[in-house]
Structure 1
Amino acid sequence: MPHTKDDLPDALYSAAHVRALDANLIAAGTPGFELMQRAARATWRGLVRQWPSANELTVVAGRGNNSGDGYLVAVLARRAGWHVRVLAAGDPQRLQGDAALAHAAAVSEGIAVQAFTAQSELRGIVLDALLGTGLTGEVREPFASAITAINASGLPVAAVDIPSGLCADTGRILGTAVRADLTVTYIALKVGLFTGDAADVVGELVFNDLQASAESFNGVDIDARRLTAGNLPRLAGRVPTAHKGKFGHVLLIGGDRGFGGAILLSAQSALRSGAGMVSVATRSEHVPAALARIPEAMVLGTSSANQLMELLQKVSVLVVGPGLGQAAWGRSLLSAAANAPLPQVWDADALNLLASNHVSLPKDCVITPHPGEAARLLGISTAEVQADRPAAAHALSKKYTAVVILKGAGSLIASPDGRLALSHQGHPAMATAGLGDVLAGLVGALLAQGMDAFNAACLAVWLHANAGEQQGKSGRGLAASDLIPAIRQLLEEQAPCLK
């Protein structure tokens, strides 16, 4: 059955695991050519729904089964009375198996199949049937030129299974990729459709399982799960006799000179996300501003780590790093936190100091790196992190025995036990300072209310991304503090306070 992006399965798979599912379907008695026909029908329905008044189709076909889907869509379009042509990037006579049968079906239907050249004219709806999920290396010729022509055409573009050039496992563009308006994907969802560069090229996503039975999925591991409103971990409700002592005491440490706003954003986020009590340890210069902005918080002007020791005995969760800086003041406070046997969230400069080997991370923490911080923590380049975001998240989680939130488009949450969750929500207006500070405070508040690290990270990322999506509808100029009331509202919708 078809699904749009708002109604998709939770499970995400690697390309290899989707191929295993495909093999299971065939082994269970569904011929490969029948699966190809189902994929073509699903794609055709997607095209007609997306562009109901269209009547012309140009299929740009490659050399594998992806092209077979394209040839069969061409057949369906011709039978519906559309003007249809196929441009083949590669010799169709070299096609094998089901793809060769699909090509033969198109030829028998009287569809013109011409060789793609740089001078080829694209008309109507363009269907990208060039490269499938098996692509791992950089896109080569003639496919690179075909992709360039598709993107330069200015025409509506649909992609078969995945936009050509997008890695199905990582969401990385492999040199160049088709920028689709619609992608119709099959059998199971691929991780790479939801992270990395995917949001720039996938367009509207429609999924069809090609009538795969539940038994087909036996023995095939899920690589990640999408976070959705239906599968989120939830906070317990609060009984009428609830009091602040039951919902934790978060201590937020940071805000060196010139960076006081960061720790105040985190503290405001923690308070508005339900922490029972909130304390802030920051530079003395920032105390008046903190009390004016958040009078509900207890604020300690701190000049040395010694002043933290008594407070560390009273709190239940630490959030360390927003505005911390990397000078002696920040290093000493981070060292004190690292020795405290408490659940902790490390963000921003706490991660930079961790990468510089100034301190060791306690076990069972949550760390919240953006790709640049992740690169420093792993000793690789930012480009290498972005080239395989799922692998980077797993590597960080294993190296630091921590729950990792790898921020960015398609944020990932990795657990040391191998679980991987993904949030593809968000908005381009979220590209602004301070949002990470809000996220860190939110994670801390959820930990303080009794959630375990992985569930707190998952819920926090989903709330943060969806609040940003809501507030981003007003366009650029989004401020990080705009998210806080939206997060509060979403949290109450997901987990009502009163039982």
Structure 2
Amino acid sequence: MSSPISLYTAEQVKQGEVAAAKAKSIPMYELMTRAGQAVFDVMMHQYTECQKVLIVCGGGNNGGDGYVIGKLALEAGLQVTLWQVVKETKFKGDALTAYQNYCAAGGDTNEPDLSLELDYDCIVDALFGTGLSGPVRPDGVGLINRLNRVNAPIVAVDLPSGLSSNSGHVLGACLKADHTVSFIGLKQGLFTGQARDYTGVIHFNGLGVEDIFDQQNTPSALLLNNLSDCEPFVPRLKTSHKGTHGKAVIIGGNRGMGGAALLSAQACLRSGSGLTALLTHPENTLASLVVCPEVMASSWEEGLVNEQRLEHWCDCIAIGPGLGTDSSALKMFHSVTQQPVPKVYDADALNLLASHVHKDAQRILTPHPGEAARLLNCSVSEIESERFLAVKRLQQKYGGVVVLKGAGTLIYDGQQTYVCNAGNPGMATAGMGDVLTGVILGLLAQGESLTNSAVKGVMVHSLAADIDVEKNGERGLCASDLLPHIRHLVNGK
């Protein structure tokens, strides 16, 4: 088992780098020169034919890194154009020293001229860094948009300018980097929300202080790249039987939406559940049995949907995929809330929960941003602009474990935040959330904890999509395509 990667807030890195440098008796300007060298090395390694470089510098330490890069580029014989966004009279500290050293090496500076025809082999983004807290000003928006139109790769210093280092939200406009070089501690905002559209390939350099920094700081979140970053699956006894591996119930599939609940049931089986029952609208039962006879499909009008029968038969319940919000759905919703077993709420169960608010420590919620907004009575933009805050607010309000879906899915259990670094745009298609619900439920049925079921369920789901897309491409990916890969993944294949 490997370890997940630690993520930090911008504030943690800003304060922690000073303490770490002090502990190692390293001057802060030395850290700046190391940062500049790290970016320069990545640029020259990735673009070996680079001869003409445009460096765009702001006025803070991110700009100071840019001046260090400019000096290194001059010394390497490159043609350097440096756009200076802030007057040198406003420079101070290490940024001022870096500017002076760049000028002493023969470097020139210019104000940005957006009317010029820009012909460069590479652009270095040293504009804002982690210091940007509010929206990019109009002049900055114009500069960013112009640079994004240049036919040249962009290497970002620490993070792309215009991206929130804490939330992954674009603050009005953002440079689209091909490579981002991050220092000392990886910023949590690089891995969720809109970040994937802007970061390109992320490189990390600890500048020689990462060991002390990690010792002195508690991660704000943990980044998961593979199943090896998670707890191992619960081992199976050679003498086990189907009941040993859990009895799961899925409630959903109202009129015209039977496929959603059936996908969940199939995913639950493929994740390893011993018995999976599907309680669905009467019109869906025959089709469900034809498609997947292993699923114990029955009408929710005749099945297990009463509190006594549910409690005595099942080990865990999922409700919501294709459920609807009519009177039948509401009746089943209230029945499930009374059950003392682990539960997964998805789709319409979340919409009903928004109107019938209650806490439950034995429940996993799996909202997408729209459902999260309804649960918190706010806008989708508020959710997306503060994803880490949103997932914590959801857990505090509703209890249990919350899975906030989207690029860089977040999982929060009241103590630890996890970030899924797997998945791809092909997953933006109908039924994907239903499959995730089934995977999580299948793991719950086998005795996994709520946290492990949510974390491993998200990873299995995303990695299954990545495996299929690697072979067949993103376009045309269907939710059911994940099912065979899910089985392989839960078996360590």
User: Do both share a fold (TM > 0.5)?
Assistant: yes
CA distance in 2, matches of 1:432, 1:289: 22
Find the partner of 1:447 among 444, 460, 466. Answer: 444
The letter of the residue matching 1:211 is G
Deviation of 1:141 after TM superposition, in Å, equals: 4.4
Other-structure match for 1:351 = 350
Determine if contact 1:304/1:332 at 8 Å carries over to the other structure: no
> Is it true that 1:211 corresponds to 2:212 in the alignment?
no
Determine if contact 1:182/1:203 at 8 Å carries over to the other structure: yes
CA distance in 2, matches of 1:265, 1:361: 27
CA distance in 2, matches of 1:134, 1:313: 56
CA distance in 2, matches of 1:255, 1:190: 41
Other-structure match for 1:173 = 170
Does the residue aligned with 2:318 lie in a helix, a strand or coil? strand
Determine if contact 1:256/1:329 at 8 Å carries over to the other structure: no
Determine if contact 1:91/1:115 at 8 Å carries over to the other structure: no
Does the residue aligned with 2:77 lie in a helix, a strand or coil? coil
Q: CA RMSD in A?
A: 1.6
Once the two structures are superposed, the pairs formed by residues 365-404 of structure 1 within 5 Å of their partners are 365-404=363-402
CA distance in 2, matches of 1:371, 1:406: 7
Other-structure match for 1:182 = 179
Deviation of 1:53 after TM superposition, in Å, equals: 1.5
Deviation of 1:91 after TM superposition, in Å, equals: 0.8
**Over residues 192-225 of structure 1, what are the superposed CA-to-partner deviations in whole Å (9 max), with x where a residue is unaligned?**
0000110000001111000115333344221000
Q: For structure 2, list consecutive stretches of 5 or more residues without a partner in the other structure.
A: none
The letter of the residue matching 1:457 is A
Instruction: Single out whichever of 385-394 and 215-224 deviates more from structure 2.
Output: 215-224
Other-structure match for 1:291 = 289
TM-score with structure 2 setting the length = 0.96
> Is it true that 1:96 corresponds to 2:96 in the alignment?
no
Find the partner of 1:253 among 234, 251, 258. Answer: 251
Deviation of 1:170 after TM superposition, in Å, equals: 0.2
> Is it true that 1:78 corresponds to 2:77 in the alignment?
no
Does the residue aligned with 2:110 lie in a helix, a strand or coil? strand
CA distance in 1, matches of 2:3, 2:42: 15
Determine if contact 2:279/2:303 at 8 Å carries over to the other structure: no
CA distance in 1, matches of 2:215, 2:138: 38
Deviation of 1:305 after TM superposition, in Å, equals: 8.2
Deviation of 1:484 after TM superposition, in Å, equals: 1.2
Deviation of 1:467 after TM superposition, in Å, equals: 1.2
Other-structure match for 1:497 = none
CA distance in 1, matches of 2:210, 2:243: 50
Instruction: Single out whichever of 303-312 and 207-216 deviates more from structure 2.
Output: 303-312
Determine if contact 2:184/2:210 at 8 Å carries over to the other structure: no
The letter of the residue matching 1:38 is R
Deviation of 1:121 after TM superposition, in Å, equals: 4.8
Does the residue aligned with 1:189 lie in a helix, a strand or coil? coil
Determine if contact 1:58/1:87 at 8 Å carries over to the other structure: yes
CA distance in 1, matches of 2:19, 2:359: 44
CA distance in 2, matches of 1:312, 1:160: 56
CA distance in 2, matches of 1:33, 1:149: 31
Determine if contact 1:339/1:362 at 8 Å carries over to the other structure: no
Other-structure match for 1:159 = 156
Once the two structures are superposed, the pairs formed by residues 16-27 of structure 1 within 5 Å of their partners are 16-27=11-22
CA distance in 1, matches of 2:395, 2:92: 43
Other-structure match for 1:320 = 319
Determine if contact 1:130/1:143 at 8 Å carries over to the other structure: no
Find the partner of 1:427 among 424, 427, 438. Answer: 424
CA distance in 2, matches of 1:388, 1:237: 38
The letter of the residue matching 1:125 is C
The letter of the residue matching 2:206 is D
Deviation of 1:298 after TM superposition, in Å, equals: 1.2
Other-structure match for 1:37 = 33
| CA distance 1:9–1:91, change in 2 (3 Å) | farther
Other-structure match for 1:105 = 101
CA distance in 2, matches of 1:197, 1:326: 31
Deviation of 1:242 after TM superposition, in Å, equals: 1.8
CA distance in 2, matches of 1:236, 1:146: 53
CA distance in 1, matches of 2:124, 2:435: 42
Deviation of 1:8 after TM superposition, in Å, equals: 10
Instruction: Single out whichever of 153-162 and 210-219 deviates more from structure 2.
Output: 210-219
Find the partner of 1:11 among 6, 18, 23. Answer: 6
Determine if contact 1:179/1:203 at 8 Å carries over to the other structure: yes
Q: For structure 1, list consecutive stretches of 5 or more residues without a partner in the other structure.
A: 1-6, 495-499
| CA distance 1:379–1:305, change in 2 (3 Å) | farther
Determine if contact 1:72/1:102 at 8 Å carries over to the other structure: yes
CA distance in 2, matches of 1:68, 1:316: 58
Instruction: Single out whichever of 276-285 and 86-95 deviates more from structure 2.
Output: 86-95
Other-structure match for 2:467 = 470
Does the residue aligned with 2:335 lie in a helix, a strand or coil? helix
Other-structure match for 2:481 = 482
CA distance in 1, matches of 2:234, 2:3: 26
The letter of the residue matching 1:54 is C
TM-score with structure 1 setting the length = 0.94
| CA distance 1:194–1:213, change in 2 (3 Å) | closer
**Over residues 31-65 of structure 1, what are the superposed CA-to-partner deviations in whole Å (9 max), with x where a residue is unaligned?**
11100011011101110121112111110111100
Deviation of 1:237 after TM superposition, in Å, equals: 2.1
Question: Identity over aligned residues, as a percent?
Answer: 39
Determine if contact 2:56/2:85 at 8 Å carries over to the other structure: yes
Does the residue aligned with 2:131 lie in a helix, a strand or coil? coil
Other-structure match for 1:266 = 264
The letter of the residue matching 2:152 is L
CA distance in 1, matches of 2:4, 2:128: 24
| CA distance 1:23–1:192, change in 2 (3 Å) | same
Determine if contact 2:83/2:112 at 8 Å carries over to the other structure: yes
CA distance in 2, matches of 1:227, 1:356: 33
CA distance in 2, matches of 1:34, 1:487: 48
